[in-house]
Chains A and B, each alone.
Chain A
Amino acid sequence: MLSYSVEVLQSLLAYYNQALWPGHLLAVALVLLALLLVAFPQQWGGRAIAVVLAAGWLWVGWVYYVERLGRIDFSAPLYGAAFLLQGLLLLWTGVLRGALRWRMRLDLYGSVALLLLLIAVFLLPASVWFADAGWRQLRLVGLMPLPTVLFTVGMLLLTASKTPLHLTVIPLLWALAAGATAWTLALTAETALAALCVLASVMVIWRGRVARPQAA
């Protein structure tokens, strides 16, 4: 049950992007840093990537959902709370416990991960640009929910060991809810991307179930 129209959502996005500029540059820089750390692992890389991911979830949860979307959508604070929780879980798991390490992989999981990262970081912003919607409709990782979830699920497919289940639950539930919303609004591309997110989240869970325990 949506309380706003696509037109109003686009307007909200325009105001949001306008208010954030030039914060976009920082978001892009952090995302590229995370990708570099996957390609060229460092001792401290796992924790740094977790901080980048957590920062994105916390920002989207508070600034986008609670402060912005909350003005037109009564259910936005609920989504905001879920994003804040995911941010805290990433901090706890990846930073405090240091339980997340990333590496490139060339199997099916790696290919799907690459696809998700490509869409989240490059194709989604580019599609908005080439659709003549202008930078005001820009959706970037760490600033908007869809690219943030796509990017995170892609990264979770690239963890060196099995991904803790608790990091997959919120992205999966969000993708299901977002898919239903996009379907209601007849947003075909968003519906397809949410479906891809669901599929990838299931793959993360599946990989965790079949993964062998790593030797210490």
Chain B
Amino acid sequence: MDTLSRRLDGMMNRRSLLAGMAACGLSAALPAPAGAASPILMRPIPKSGETIPAIGMGTWITFNVGEDETLRKQRSEVLRRFFALGGGMIDSSPMYGSAEAVVGGGLARLGAPDTLFSATKVWTWRGSAGEEQMANSRRLWGLPSFDLMQIHNLVGWENHLETLLRDKAEGRVRYIGVTTSHGRRHEELEEIMASQPIDFVQFTYNVVDREAEQRLLPLAAERRLAVIVNRPFRRGALFSPVEGRPLPSWAAEIDCANWAQVFLKFIVSHPAVTCAIPATSQVVHMEENMGAMTGRLPDEALRQRMARDLEAV
């Protein structure tokens, strides 16, 4: 499979290959990239059929390292490992301090691979400032356009949506979406999901915060929206209660080697989820996270059991 992948690389890039595979109704598992042991889990973007790796990378806090060259180089190593293990989506925002600049610096250092699925956000109340902010984001990332532009936390969404639709029509962005990480805004998010021509939606979902299962995830499936899941580890809080505990017996049934993979497999096994975006500043954690894209996934019965068992913890 590696050989096939390398041969095909010469003819077409990975992304167009994925889109073609999905359009033909082929499996969403892609041959393993260099460094990965087995095929990785890919998920289709419902509106286009293009597939992307089911585990992406968030940059909140972890990539906001300012001017420190040592820390920037460390983050570049995290990025290198991310891509080596088949990573695709990187999600950031102008709200994340220097994170966009650090991602851009890393991409310049490593070279942006074909697998990169660049996602950032517009975050300003002033509709007129949105275009300038997005142009600045392109400059910081060193990219001519983004794959996905989202409206951060629904801030000024009515104004920005117009701009985003125009940018999409003119090719400055391929997909558009909205995000929230606040449960209290789910109602407004639902209204947007139900009524606006967006491609992606991003919200919080994890084995403890499962409110999205009631309405958001079914609505996303119904409206054919790709779903990005933020805070998959509940800002790291999921790890404290399980620290030092052995993995449950069912973890072996879904090929999990650590708790990060348990938490992530719970998320990406939901049929409406497209991509989870854990954030990390450590290469070793990145390796653990990316491991969730290989091996078996839990079925619905096991998902229920996982939720029950982990709630008890």
**A interface list, Cβ under 8 A from B:** 2-5, 7-8, 11-12, 15, 71-74
Rounded to whole angstroms, the CA-CA distance of A12 and B71 in the bound complex is 11
**With A71-B98, A74-B95 as given contacts, are A4 and B64 in contact (CB-CB < 8 Å)?**
yes
Return chain B residues, CB-CB under 8 Å to A8.
64-66, 68, 71
Residue in B68, B95, B96 whose CB lies within 8 Å of A15: B68
Majority SS at the chain B contact face: loop
Residue in A3, A7, A11 whose CB lies within 8 Å of B97: A3
Contact A5 B61 (CB under 8 A): yes
Return chain A residues, CB-CB under 8 Å to B64.
3-4, 8, 72
> Is residue B67 within 8 Å, beta carbon to beta carbon, of the partner chain?
yes
> Is residue B175 within 8 Å, beta carbon to beta carbon, of the partner chain?
no
The chain A residue sitting closest to B101, CB to CB, is A71
**With A3-B95, A4-B97, A71-B97 as given contacts, are A11 and B68 in contact (CB-CB < 8 Å)?**
yes
Among the interface residues A2, A8, A15, A73, which one has the most CB atoms of the partner chain B within 10 A?
A: A8
> Is residue B60 within 8 Å, beta carbon to beta carbon, of the partner chain?
yes
Return chain B residues, CB-CB under 8 Å to A71.
66-67, 97-98
Rounded to whole angstroms, the CA-CA distance of A194 and B3 in the bound complex is 61
**With A3-B60, A3-B61, A5-B61 as given contacts, are A11 and B66 in contact (CB-CB < 8 Å)?**
yes
Contact B61 A11 (CB under 8 A): no
Which B residues from 94 to 115 make CB contacts under 8 A with A? 95-98
Contact B68 A3 (CB under 8 A): no
Return chain B residues, CB-CB under 8 Å to A74.
95, 97
Contact B65 A11 (CB under 8 A): yes
State how many angstroms separate the Cβ of A47 from the closest Cβ of chain B: 38
Leading 7 A-B pairs by shortest Cβ distance: A72-B97, A11-B68, A72-B66, A3-B97, A4-B64, A72-B64, A8-B65
Contact A15 B67 (CB under 8 A): yes
The chain A residue sitting closest to B62, CB to CB, is A5
Given A3-B64, A3-B95, A8-B65, 17 other A-B contacts at CB below 8 A?
Answer: A3-B97, A4-B61, A4-B97, A5-B61, A5-B281, A7-B71, A8-B66, A11-B65, A11-B68, A12-B66, A12-B68, A71-B67, A71-B98, A72-B65, A72-B66, A72-B98, A73-B97
Return chain B residues, CB-CB under 8 Å to A7.
71
Return chain A residues, CB-CB under 8 Å to B98.
71-72
Rounded to whole angstroms, the CA-CA distance of A71 and B95 in the bound complex is 10
Rounded to whole angstroms, the CA-CA distance of A107 and B67 in the bound complex is 47
State how many angstroms separate the Cβ of A141 from the closest Cβ of chain B: 24
- Sampled A-B contacts (24; CB under 8 Å): A3-B95, A3-B96, A3-B97, A4-B61, A5-B61, A8-B64, A8-B65, A8-B68, A11-B65, A11-B66, A11-B68, A11-B71, A12-B66, A12-B67, A12-B68, A15-B66, A15-B68, A71-B66, A71-B97, A71-B98, A72-B98, A73-B97, A74-B95, A74-B97
State how many angstroms separate the Cβ of B101 from the closest Cβ of chain A: 9
Rounded to whole angstroms, the CA-CA distance of A141 and B189 in the bound complex is 46
Proximity bits, B58-102, A CB within 8 Å = 1, else 0: 001100111110010000000000000000000000011110000
